[in-house]
Structure 1
Amino acid sequence: MQFVNLRNSFIRLLVRLICIAGGMLLTFLAPAQTPVVGKVLYEKLAKTQQEYQEAMATGDSLEVAEVCYLLGKRYNALGDYVNAQAWYIRSLRIREPLGPSENIGKTYLRMAENQIRQKQYNQAKRLVSQATANFRHIHSQHGMMGATIVMAGVHELGWRMNRDKPGSAPFSSLDSSLYYFKQAEQLAISLKKPFDIANVYACMGNALMQKDGNLALPYLKKAYAINRQERSPYGIINSSQGLANCYLALGQPLIAKKWLDEAKFICDTARHGDYWQNDQLEESYTRVYERMGNWKQAFLHQRKYYSFQVDALTADREGAIARAGMLYESEKKEAKLKAQQNELELRQQNLNTQKRLSLMTTVLFVLAGLACLVFYWLFRKYRRISEHNAKLVKEQNHRVKNNLQSITNLLGLQFNRLTDPAARKAVEESLLRVEAMALVHRRLYDGDRLIEVDLMQFIPELVNGVLRSYSFGHIQPIYSLSPIWLNADVAINVGLLLNELATNSCKYALPLHSNPVLTVGCQEENGRILFWYEDNGPGFTPSTKGNSFGMKLIDMITQKLKGKGHFSAENGCRFTLSFDAKAMEFVH
């Protein structure tokens, strides 16, 4: 009995090999003819290529990206995965700079499906991960469901690779695939989209078929029922093929043939289905008829299966030159479009720059106008304050002058009532000192400058006043004065010092000389004030006068001005004083 079974298996295998060989031979010998489905797919491709030319002419980058994605789908349907991948990448290049979107994630999933069909596990897993990150960023539940389905397919591919070559796809198993399908099922049900639910059930059924066909049947039947209700030709073909393969795995070829016939009917009547579906359909028919022992039909469907392969190659060969020309033209137009986009971007940048410059100029003018208004307001305010302060200073000088004049009058009254010569002398000297200070404030009140005194007017008036007090008004002093303005504080100190010198001359020098001469000078040299005073009297030794009040006052003023004073007694008495021209900044 065992021998009989082995003989029958051997005969079945031999007949199958003969059918395959004969089918391939007849296929290559027969004239190439594109089947109806192939014509439809190439018609769609040609139409999409025309749409691509129109999109390139409009210059709309988003429209170009969408047509590139559609061209990828068309080449997918034809089984040209290389060209499909190239068009998907071109679509991504346009869309990715604009940020995450539904279309970007969908393109990544299409590329991952291509890699699964070509058994590229690592590339497929990476693309699904990129799609998942994109959908998560834009919070797309529908996109996450699609990514979960494709990730389940990646793990199913990894399980098949591990089965053929252990360790080739780590961390992948059929259980992992089913886990992702369960997650996709929950998402599809929550979204309440029948087509998505049917797709998940169909994928789960195909995965469970690897474990137990009985577990797969309920899911495949649910998928078929939903697709039938929604009238989805593509879904009906896939679910019918899945049911056929499941019944075939369960050893029921007759039921499997019934489902294949329905899938075939939909393909022929709806003119739907891609090369992958038709390849699978003919391959499934071949297996069914082999199980049934109908070798003639198995041979015919095997021949059709290879005919699809050869027709696809023939169509690709015939369209290769046309596609190359179209690709060249499309690249030229893309380059032109890119140049136009760069030019538009440059113009936009220039326009933005001009707008920014105009805005900045306007803002600067507005700020300048506001600044002018503010400065004008401050100028008016500070001018009013300055005028008010000037009036206050003048009023202060006037009051100080009046107060000093009152003091002078009081001292004069006291002087007239005194009989003691020493007391009269002391009061008289005090009167001259107060008059020297009053003179400064009179000069401030009468002058244009509020806090500065002109020495060219102040010194002669002070010296002449002292001479008149001692009845020497007929003497004409020699003045050598430069136009120097001193701060009021410095001028008071200089006035007191000059008052002491003139008083000493009137008391000790002028009465003893028949032709008295006084010389007073004040010059500015190298930032320092040089003052000198001399008479032609008998002179004196400074040490002999050092204990007098006048000499002490002269020393005190010299120190206060941080100057250098010196007496000499050659041909009379001469006193020189030099101090910093900026002494007004230090005298308080």
Structure 2
Amino acid sequence: MQYDSAFHYYKLSLSPRYKSNNDTLNASSLNALGTLFHYRGMMDSAIYRYSDALRLYQRLHQDYYAMAVEINLAMSYKEIGLYRESLDTLLNALDYLERQPPMRYLVVCYNTIGGVCTKAGDYQQALEYFNRTLQAAQVTGDDDYIAISLNNKGETFLYLTQYDSALACLIRAENIKRSARDTNALGNTLGLLGETYMALGNDARAASFLQEALAIKTAAGARLGQLVTLLNLTRLNIRRQEYAEAKVLLDRAEVLVREKGEPDYLRQVLEQRFALYRATHPNDPTIRVVNELLIVKDSLLNKDKAKSLQAIHVRYQTAKNLEYIADLEQEDVRHQAWIRWLVGVAVAVTIVVFVIYLLYRSSQRNKKKAETLFKELNHRVKNNLQILSSVLSLQSQNVKDEDALLAIKSSESRVNAMALIHKKLYRDDNHRAIDMQDYVQELGNYLVHTYGFTDGRLELRIQCDAVAIDVDKAIPIGLILNELVSNALKYAFDKHAAPTLEIRLQEQGADEIRIDVRDNGVGISPQKTREGSGSFGLKMVKMLIKELKGRVDVEIQAGTVYQIVLPL
């Protein structure tokens, strides 16, 4: 009744007779009306109102409210299976949210992206976003979404057939919900626990959890929740050869699904009808034909979903990389005109490399041909970077100004750090991962000789675990190492009798690496850095670490130590 009244008054407020001249108020009413349509299951009407509200907020440059409407709009797209539109909208909202202090909308956005990825069958990507949901919920102290993210992680592990991990997450979610006495939400967790125990072959425990879940969802009038649980109980009874009970449960499910006519749930009901028929009529020859048809149909649908989802993520990552490179270019405009041009060329080449690589990856169809093309691409990029390095080296021979010479050498070392990556990609059979042990050794030796240190003049210690890192992370890690090692070689050892430089790269568990760069030089003054408070190189290091979602500590004790921790 309350929903009906709200629905009536919101519609009335937007009618020509009562419509306000205040567009902010109109946008708020449209958003509220869209939410009411969403709760009624009228997704087309909800999307129409949300879209109007979004246009008004965007025209008024009210980014916060526009972002909130985008999340609502994405949820409606998700409900009707428009996963591409949903993910595009969510990623646009996420671009705004990740530049703000953590808030509940960030938690909701991460969780909804994970849900879209789950629906599209990209379970690894879904897990990544559910982990982000859990971390953000813990930061904001949102206990409801801590339980929700654990519930969603458990469901995703269930799809991946990682049942022990699924149980660990779902049992934690169950305990939180029972403690909070959140009965309605508990029903979803109990249903998933029932599915997990059913997959493990523990039919008695599965039946217990599923029956409790059905009782909760029936009492709450949760029609879709009842449907899911009835279908799972039907599967369990068919497996236990309790066909009469399975038919009773399936009849209940069909009555519910035909009230609203959702195609996906109707498909599941009909599949269970077929499974029951197959169990009770094992010798019917038509069963084999229908089975094969269903397998082919599911395979084609999953393949189309995966391609669509991959294309969306490639576009989003391309936009993020271009934004990051634009920030670097803005910092570089303070240099002299001819230095700006040289560094600009290096940045432009990097942009081309990233864009070609990402476009290449998204359009990969023939593996053998694609590997050959990608290897040739890395060879050409390596040659172009080496040509640029040679230009910088030649230019440095005619420069007398010390600051300008250091700027050119810094640009040259950055280009070589990237060229070394592409040289290894060209030589190795693995076209995605970089052997960091070999790479760090070669980069360290190159920089030592570039800055005029001989083997007897400086002791270089390199300790690197045998870890392979994806090229998307190896390139920024190489640039970070290049800046820190170059800084030490340029400034730390002035008139030092026994200079020592130590580089360590070690794995910390299964999902982190730690990088230490340590020297025994003069140390960093509290008032300034080695290149000044406005150092382009150190700002770039800070930006790269932030982009990789890592953290850095600096210690000054008998020299300088940079300690960096990065997630893999």
Please confirm whether the aligned pair reaches a TM-score higher than 0.5, indicating the same fold.
Answer: no
Whichever structure has more helix as a proportion of its residues is 1
Question: Which structure is richer in relative contact order (CA contacts within 8 A, separation 6 or more)?
Answer: 1
- TM-score, scaled relative to structure 2: 0.41
